[in-house]
Structures are given as structure tokens and as C-alpha cells.
């Protein structure tokens, strides 16, 4: 099998992650996209025949139209190696991307856009190579980004799956990381304190130097504290109207509660992104949005700082 364009890149740490692709059944364009994303993750794409000599972190295969079971060979390979499985489905799905088996298996519809496909692969290769500041959990994907040392957002996730992101508005403020734990406790204490008290405590904690995005442990509710309309905080989903909504104007130092839904991505940014097609890109998910943000930036240092929390 020719693997043109799939030359592996060894990461700075030395260890190269392997991604095995069922190249016989995958479209060449899909394999090319896979290769491009893997190169950025310092991962090497291997054809199926090299499975025996590899220990892949991800296996990519296909489900033909009408196929209702994961092909036995793929299942066996994924189980034996503890790898995640990405399956391109010829059948239409309820949503463009559907995680199953506690997030270990990801189905992506053939009708999904290229940006969505790249973003999904990127999500599954979180923490690797150029995606070191991204994390994947069974129901949530998170990312922090931007120039090092400036306005570094902090993320806190507990064992129950609840996530809190703290986004500093002041470039010199270094409290995001240490205060993220306390912010998380305040956001999670829904039974013990009412909204008014929660708002008072968050105001005491952050004043107007930082904003907070919290996703409840059952992924059913977003809680936002965002006391600045100068910094956008976008709620993006193709399953919402409008598909992209800047909640910064609404937050105005109040605590906002919003029902959460699979496919939601909340994106906090240090400046309004100058993306050519912001709506469709945001609809393709947080990872696709980040891809586009990086692609349109003149260099890596000009990417705005930001944080993304996405429900898978």
C-alpha cells in the first residue's frame, strides 16, 4: 500500500505515537487528512498490515452502508492494544460525530465536512505533539491555547467529569491556575448555595480580572461568569439557533445558566477572531475552530489566547 504523504514525524520527546489505518477500506482523501493531522501530533500513520509490529493509540477504519457491527478485526486490535477507534460511517448518523462505548469508539458520518474530520482526528490525538494543551475525556474535549506565558487560561476537571475553565482578562494576572480549584468548588456547590451567593463568591474571587466557564458533571448545564464584554465567549453548535452566539454581551457580571447539549462548544477568546467563515467553522466543532484560528494567524504568536470546552 502506497503511503504517499504519510511520512511520520517523531515528536520532540522521542517516542512516536502510532496510528493504524485500515487503508484498504478508507478513501484516499481521508487517509491524506489523517496523515496531515498526525504529522502535527508527532504521530506516524501505519497501514493495517503493520498492525502486529505497532502499539497504536488510535485505529481508523470504516463502516460500510448497512454495517451495524464494528468489524471483528478492528475490535480485536483496539481491545488488545487499548487504542481508541475512529470509524467513518457510510450511513447517515443522528449527529455528524457520535461517540460510543464511553467515548472510546467515535463514529463520524461520511457527510461530515473535511474540517470536522480533521477536528475529530485532532481531538482523538489530544496531548500529543502540537496538541499538548488539549485533553480528551469520555464526554468532553478541552483545549487552552495562545502565546506562552500570556493570559494562560487554566482548566480544572474532577473525577466526576465536571470541568471549570478560568480565563484571565489581565495579561499579568497569574491567579487562574491557583484559583481554578476554588472556582470549581463554587460552581459545583449547586445544592449548598443559591445563585446570588455564587455570584458574590465568584465576584470576590475574580472581580473583573477573569471569567469562568463551568460544565456540570452530567454535562447538562453550562454556568458562566464573564464580567467583560471586551472578551468574546462564544457558544457554538450546529444544533442551536443561532449557531454561534457571543454570550459576553449577555453575561455582564451575572452568573448565567444555560442548558447544555451534545455538540456544544464554549470558546473563550482574548480577541474577536477574524475568521473568514466563522459560523460554519464553529459548527464543525471546537477543534475545527482552533484549526482555522491557527491557519489564519500570521504566526503562532499571533493566535489569540483562549480556552475551549466541548461536549462530545
Partner 1 sequence: MTRDLLVIDDSATARKLIEISLRGRPLRPHFAESGKEGIRYAAALAPSAILLDFVLPDMTGVDVCRALAADARTQTIPILVVTAKHERTRREFQPFPAVVDFIPKPFTAPDLIARIDRAIAGVVSGTVSRPVEPRRDPTERAAKLLFTRLRDGLALLPSQLRALEPGPIAPQLARRLLTPQVVEGILADLRPLYDELAAAEAPSRIADATPAPTAAHDPRPRHRPVVVCDPDVEAFQEPLRTRLAQRATSRELIAVERIDEVIGVTRRRQPCLVLVNATSRVAEVCAVAQALRADPALSDLAMIAVLEARVGRPPDLLAAGFDAVLAKPVIVDELERFLIPADLR
Q: Which of 10, 27, 28, 64 binds partner 1 (CB under 8 A)?
A: 64
| Site for partner 1 contains 276 (CB under 8 A) | no
User: Cβ of residue 48: shortest distance to partner 1, in angstroms?
Assistant: 16
Is-contact 103 138, C-beta < 8 A? yes
Number of chain residues interacting with partner 1 (CB under 8 A): 32
Distance, in Å, from the CA atom of 139 to the CA atom of 216, rounded to the nearest integer, reads: 11
Q: Which of 55, 239, 300, 301 binds partner 1 (CB under 8 A)?
A: 239
Is-contact 174 210, C-beta < 8 A? no
Q: Give the range of 114-122, 178-186, 257-265, 288-296 binding partner 1 by CB under 8 A.
A: 257-265
| Site for partner 1 contains 243 (CB under 8 A) | yes
By beta-carbon proximity to partner 1, the closer residue of 65 and 276 is 65
| Site for partner 1 contains 65 (CB under 8 A) | yes
91, three cell numbers: 450511513
Q: Which of 31, 86, 244, 303 binds partner 1 (CB under 8 A)?
A: 244
By beta-carbon proximity to partner 1, the closer residue of 188 and 256 is 256
| Site for partner 1 contains 197 (CB under 8 A) | no
Distance, in Å, from the CA atom of 150 to the CA atom of 298, rounded to the nearest integer, reads: 18
With H, G, I as helix, E, B as strand and everything else as coil, classify residue 206: helix
| Site for partner 1 contains 257 (CB under 8 A) | yes
| Site for partner 1 contains 66 (CB under 8 A) | yes
| Site for partner 1 contains 230 (CB under 8 A) | no
Distance between the two ends of the chain, CA-based, in angstroms? Answer: 33
Distance, in Å, from the CA atom of 19 to the CA atom of 23, rounded to the nearest integer, reads: 11
How many Cα atoms sit within 13 Å of 123 on the Cβ side?
Answer: 36
The DSSP code sequence of 27-79 is -HHHHHHHHHHHHHTTEEEEEGGGGGG---SEEEEEE-TT--S--HHHHHHHH
Closest Cα to residue 307, out of 185, 159, 135, 172? 135
| Site for partner 1 contains 188 (CB under 8 A) | no
By beta-carbon proximity to partner 1, the closer residue of 31 and 303 is 31
| Site for partner 1 contains 100 (CB under 8 A) | yes
User: Cβ of residue 190: shortest distance to partner 1, in angstroms?
Assistant: 16
Residues at the interface with partner 1 (CB under 8 A):
64-69, 91, 94, 100-102, 105, 218, 235, 237, 239-245, 247, 250-252, 254, 256-259, 261
Amino acid at each position: 500500500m502506497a503511503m504517499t504523504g504519510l511520512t511520520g514525524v517523531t515528536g520532540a520527546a522521542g517516542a512516536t505515537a502510532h496510528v493504524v489505518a485500515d487503508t484498504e477500506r478508507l478513501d484516499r482523501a481521508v487517509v491524506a487528512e489523517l496523515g496531515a493531522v498526525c504529522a502535527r501530533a508527532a504521530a506516524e500513520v501505519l497501514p493495517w498490515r503493520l498492525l502486529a509490529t505497532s502499539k497504536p493509540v488510535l485505529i481508523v477504519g470504516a463502516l460500510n452502508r448497512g454495517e451495524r457491527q464494528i468489524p471483528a478485526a478492528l475490535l480485536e486490535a483496539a481491545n488488545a492494544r487499548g487504542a481508541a477507534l475512529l470509524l467513518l460511517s457510510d450511513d447517515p448518523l443522528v449527529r455528524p460525530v457520535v461517540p460510543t462505548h464511553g467515548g472510546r469508539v467515535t463514529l463520524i458520518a461520511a457527510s461530515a465536512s473535511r474540517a470536522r474530520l480533521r477536528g475529530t482526528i485532532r481531538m482523538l490525538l489530544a496531548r500529543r505533539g502540537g496538541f499538548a494543551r488539549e485533553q480528551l475525556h469520555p464526554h468532553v474535549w478541552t483545549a487552552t491555547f495562545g502565546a506562552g506565558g500570556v493570559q494562560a487560561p487554566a482548566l480544572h476537571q474532577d473525577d466526576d467529569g465536571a470541568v471549570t475553565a478560568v480565563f484571565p482578562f489581565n495579561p499579568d494576572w497569574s491567579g487562574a491556575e491557583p484559583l481554578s480549584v476554588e472556582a470549581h468548588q463554587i460552581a459545583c456547590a449547586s445544592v449548598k448555595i443559591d445563585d446570588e451567593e455564587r455570584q458574590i463568591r465568584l465576584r470576590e474571587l475574580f472581580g473583573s480580572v477573569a471569567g469562568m466557564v463551568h460544565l456540570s458533571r452530567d454535562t447538562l448545564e453550562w454556568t458562566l461568569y464573564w464580567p467583560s464584554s471586551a472578551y468574546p465567549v462564544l457558544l457554538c453548535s450546529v444544533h442551536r439557533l443561532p449557531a454561534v452566539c457571543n454570550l459576553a454581551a449577555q453575561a455582564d457580571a451575572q452568573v448565567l445558566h444555560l442548558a447544555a447539549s451534545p455538540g456544544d462548544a464554549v470558546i473563550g477568546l482574548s480577541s474577536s477572531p477574524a475568521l473568514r467563515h466563522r459560523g460554519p467553522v464553529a459548527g464543525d466543532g471546537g477543534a475545527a475552530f482552533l484549526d482555522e484560528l491557527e491557519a489564519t494567524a500570521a504566526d503562532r504568536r499571533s493566535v489569540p489566547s483562549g480556552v475551549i470546552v466541548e461536549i462530545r
